[in-house]
Every structure is written in structure tokens, then in C-alpha cells.
Amino acid sequence: MNDASVTMAGSLTEVPLEDFRRVLDVNVMGYVHGARATLRVFRSQRRGVLVNVSSVLGSVPQPYTAAYSMSKTAVTALSASIRSELRLDKLKHIHVVTVMPAVIDTPIFAQAANYTGRRVLAPPPVNAPQRVAREIVKSTRKPRAEVPVGSGGRALLAQHRASPESAEKSMATYVDQLHLSKTETAPATSGNLFESAPLEMATVEGGWGGRPRQAGRRMLGGALLVGALAVPAIARSRGRRARGPGRRRSR
């Protein structure tokens, strides 16, 4: 399983290029090195399952995390490319799975490089990391090409497929309102890009309430996200009804 990831928040024109490159190096080349080493073994034994943990953001990028979103798109593309190579080589017992989590309760938000001036938050709905772990284990037993995980993720992917423009607008609002604090400031930092976080931060959970006992909070956050995504679609539907079935928009 490839799951080495770091992240950075900040405007594309304001973040240090050195930090930008570091995110891509860890998140993309880390997976490349892992895949190359693993596939050599898999090819020799003609079987195996490689799990690449990408993100919903690999399909629906968000503002202020260009490097991270780019890296997760690259991971999704890497997996698809490897699957095609294996298909051409008739290695049908070697599988490559792309797991695509939504927001997960891990320390990544607190350890992120941050150049926004605002505290980075885990936006709802926040899912427990154990949920992703279960899907990864399940994927090794019954491999599928792509596996979305987490509340809100599937709705976001579906909306982006149906209307990319409206999904991107909703994502921008979602990040500005829920991902970056409106009240708490934060100093500029490179986070854990170049050195490990303190030992006390080496935990599975990030303290954002992702465990099952917080299911009500996750459901509320999911409703907020799905509601935000639904607004543009409802507006378009009302516009079509207002024009009537026999009238077309002029060009």
C-alpha cells in the first residue's frame, strides 16, 4: 500500500516553490518508487494487489491546495496507467486499486504547510480513519479499480461528473467557509514537509471527531456538503422549467 502524503495550503502565487516541489516529490515520486519496487515482485510471482491511496480531490480539486490536488490526480493516473500495462501483458492476477478517501480524521490538517494566514480545519463530514483501513483491507480481497471512501465523497464525485463547473464553485465555497478558519489565524509554516512532526503528533486520529460516536456530526456535515452541491443543479432545473419545454436558450 502506498500512502505517503503531505499537504500545503496557500495561494498558488504565494506559496514557496520549494515547498510546492516537495509536496509533489513525496506524494507522486514516493508512489512511483513504491510501485516500481512492488511490481518487480508481483511480476515475478505473477500475482499481487497494489493499493494506491489517492483522494476525492484527485477528481475534484479544491482551491489553495494546488500541489496536493495535483499529486492526487497524478496518483489516480499512475494507477490507471499501470493497470493498462498489466492488461497488455496479460497479468490478470496483478491488481492495482485506487482508494479515494474524502475528509478523514488524521493529523494531516494540523501538520500541513500553511501560507493562508488562517488555521486549517478538517471540514465536515469527517470520517474515521478506521473506515478507510477497512476498505483497504477489503480491496486486497476483492480488488476494484477505484474505491471512494467516506461521507460526502460519492456525492461530490457524482456532482462533478454531472456538472464540473457547479461542483467547482461549490467546492470553492466549501473550502472558504469550512476548511479555513474565519476566526483563527495561523503563522506561515512549512509544516512537516521537510522534517517529521513532534512525536506527540504521531497519532492515527487528528482529534476532529471522526469516530463512529460522532456519526451525527458527520451526517450534519454531509448534509451541508450535499446541500451546497445541490443548489446549482436546482437552480438550473428551475431555469429550464421557467423557459418551458418548447423554448430553447438563444445563442
Which tens digits make up the pLDDT trace of 47-97? Answer: 999 999 999 999 999 999 999 999 999 999 999 999 999 999 999 999 999
The C-alpha cell at 209 is 471527531
Q: What are phi and psi of 149, to 5 degrees?
A: -135, 130
**Assigned architecture for domain 8-242:** 3-Layer(aba) Sandwich (3.40)
**Which burial class, exposed, middle or buried, applies to 147 when counting CB atoms under 10 A from its CB (0-12, 13-18, 19+)?**
buried
Domain locations along the chain: 8-242
Q: Under 8 Å CB-to-CB from 172, ≥6 apart: which residues?
A: 62, 63
pLDDT at 234: 39
pLDDT at 156 over 60: yes
pTM, entire model? 0.83
User: Considering only CA atoms, which of 237, 14, 247, 228 is closest in space to residue 116?
Assistant: 14
How does pLDDT run across 90-131, given as a tens digit for each residue? 999 999 999 999 999 999 999 999 999 999 999 999 999 999
Q: How many residues are listed for the chain in this entry? A: 251
